[in-house]
Amino acid sequence: ILHADLDAFYASVEQLLDPSLRGKPIAVGGGVVLAASYEARAFGVRGGMPGRRARELCPHLIFVGGNFSHYQRLGDAAIKVLDDFTPVVERISIDEAFADVAGCTHLFGSPQEIATTIRRRVRAELGLPISIGVARTKHLAKIASQVAKPDGLVVVEPGTELAFLHDLPVGLMWGVGPATRARLAEIGVETIGQLARTHRGALTRLLGPAAGEKLAALSWNRDPRKLETKRRAHSAGAQSALGQKPAVARVIVPTLLHLADRVASRLRAKARPGRTVTVR
């Protein structure tokens, strides 16, 4: 299984559209950082960070407003490259997807060769960097792609999975966010290997039965999930960065109307109803 993830996607697209931004620290957004280039991340700038704090960390940070139609177009084009190798593709976001290549190695070579070709094509055809992880399970392939970043390829060979996995920080696991990571740290668990060696009862007491059992299994690379090729998106969204504009009604109301229209258009195009509206 391959997990392909476009690197610093929004920021990379902006640097592609405006070559003068290449090699410079940039952030997509304004009042809040939606995405940051690797040059900006070197200063500690992260997505979700207030713009003011980002400027404190990186005074020469360049803010750009965002080109969401281009993000969608280029994300679709990158996934199309995967489709050229196998029909078994599960897209999980605008910029990442899984691909099962077990059935096409007789046509295109080993999984490593396929991943190398995909990376080369995405770079040549779209001008974007993409990292790929290759492993026998979805969970491990996703972790491998994170280890491969930026712009790399990591192949976890059969028989080496646990040696690769257990030295890595627990925060790389699917489903371990800052809150869970902090709770695990309280009991001395900082690596995936330490998690694997923790008594399952202690994990379920700390995290609850479902999360504890799931993480215990994943720490031993037990992940039987297959790819969901017909997976339907459970949400539709649109974003707009206000930058330095004041948060007043004459700014917010037109922005919300514009975003609502964009979301409604996407839902109508897919004949999908909506139920819950979230504004953040």
Domain 2-6+69-156: which topology?
Alpha-Beta Plaits (3.30.70)
CA distance 51 to 244: 9
Per-residue pLDDT of the chain (280 residues; tens, 9 = 90+): 999 999 999 999 999 999 999 999 999 987 788 899 999 999 999 988 888 999 999 999 999 988 888 999 999 999 999 999 999 999 998 999 999 999 999 999 999 999 999 999 999 999 999 999 999 999 999 999 999 999 999 999 999 999 999 999 999 998 898 889 999 999 999 999 999 999 989 999 999 999 999 999 999 999 999 998 875 566 777 766 665 566 667 667 767 766 786 677 667 656 678 888 888 7
Q: What's the predicted TM-score (pTM) here? A: 0.82
Question: What are the residue ranges of CATH 3.30.70.270 in the chain?
Answer: 2-6+69-156
**53 vs 98: CA distance, rounded Å:** 35
Q: Answer yes or no: CATH 3.20.20.390 is held by domain 9-68.
A: no
The token pair that represents 48 in the structure block: 């979700």
- CATH classification code of 163-219: 1.10.150.20
Q: From CA 183, how far away is CA 206, in angstroms rounded?
A: 8
* Residues carrying CATH 3.40.1170.60, the chain: 9-68
List residues with catalytic annotation: 96
Q: Tokens 């995909």: give the residue.
A: 118
Q: Please list the residues that pair with 62 across neighbouring strands.
A: 26
Distance of CA 70 to the CA centre of its chain: 17
User: Which alpha helices (DSSP H) does the chain contain, by range?
Assistant: 9-17, 38-41, 51-57, 68-83, 105-108, 111-126, 138-148, 161-165, 178-186, 192-196, 200-207, 209-219, 249-269
In eight-state DSSP terms, residue 174 is T
Amino acid at 137: T
Strands 26-29 and 33-36: antiparallel
Q: What does the angle CA 45 – CA 47 – CA 51 come to, to the nearest 5 degrees?
A: 65
**Residue intervals in the chain for CATH 1.10.150.20:** 163-219
